[in-house]
Amino acid sequence: MGPEAFFRLCNMLERDGGLKPTRFSSVEEQVAKALYILSHKTKNQVVKFWFRRSGETVSRHFHNVLKAIIELEDKFFLQPDGSSVPAEIDGNNKFYPYFKDCVGAIDGTHIRAKVRMVDAPRYRGRKDFPTQNVLATCTFDLKFTYVLVGWEGTASDSRIIKDALS
């Protein structure tokens, strides 16, 4: 991410997401801490050292940035409402009468996961290594509309879909 993109993100989070500077920390510093944690998968202790802030401050700023990002959801993520027929279905005689109310596709996949040795048996499915069961939906133009992660590899598809629907 270049400096222009970083400052645009900071301005957007401050203007539209409600992120506020604190007495001792600017919006840019808060966003930098959050991006550092997300991009390097670091712990609070590392960020605490590099930014010379307490662990509680780092944690609070990280959560404030995440809340500001969630506030931007309505501006950037539009869920399909099913009011129009997708062009991929409308223009194809094989699909139109049968799939006219379809808004996308849903599927599950297993993604390799790194877990504690104690939890490994729950995450071991058909493979020899631990996996995480991921459910994803997308539109016909291949844009993700929903992703559910966190289920262990041995979880059944029916349990995962029940969780997604609730």
Domain check: are 9 and 68 in the same one? yes
| pLDDT tens for each residue of 123-146 | 787 778 888 888 888 887 788 888
Distances from the Cα of 119 to the Cα of 108, 132, 154, 163, angstroms:
21, 12, 11, 21
Q: Note the pTM of the prediction, 2 decimals.
A: 0.56
Is residue 152 predicted with pLDDT exceeding 70?
Answer: yes
- Asked if the model's pLDDT at residue 30 lies above 90, the reply is yes
Average pLDDT for 111-123: 83
pLDDT at 20: 93
pLDDT at 143: 81
Give residue 1's pLDDT.
67
Containing domain of residue 64, as a range? 3-75
Q: Is the pLDDT of residue 46 over 90?
A: no
Q: What is the Rg, in whole angstroms, of the alpha carbon atoms belonging to the chain?
A: 21
Residues 70 and 107 in one domain: no
> Is residue 68 assigned to a domain?
yes
In angstroms, how far is the first alpha carbon of the chain from the final one?
Answer: 36
> What integer is the mean pLDDT of 22-44?
89
- 21 within domain boundaries: yes
| Total tally of structural domains belonging to the chain | 2
**Domain for residue 82, yes or no?**
no
Residues 68 and 107 in one domain: no
Residues 8, 61 share a domain: yes
Cβ-contact 43, 33 below 8 angstroms: no
Q: Are 7 and 55 found together in one domain?
A: yes
Residue 86 lies in a domain: no
Which single residue is written with the structure tokens 């992703």? 147
Q: For residue 117, is pLDDT > 90?
A: no
In whole angstroms, what is the distance from residue 22 CA to residue 2 CA? 25
Tell me, yes or no, whether 91 lies in a domain: no
Strand ranges across the sheet with 144-152: 105-112, 131-138, 144-152
Residues 65 and 120 occupy one common structural domain: no
Q: Work out the mean pLDDT of the chain and round it to a whole number.
A: 85
> Mean pLDDT lowest for which of 64-68, 97-101, 124-128?
124-128
Note whether residue 149 is domain-resident.
Answer: yes
Give the angle subtended at the CA of 88 by the CAs of 161 and 134, to the nearest 5°: 25
Q: 85 lies in a domain? A: no
Beta-sheet strands, E only, within the chain: 105-112, 131-138, 144-152
94 domain-assigned: no
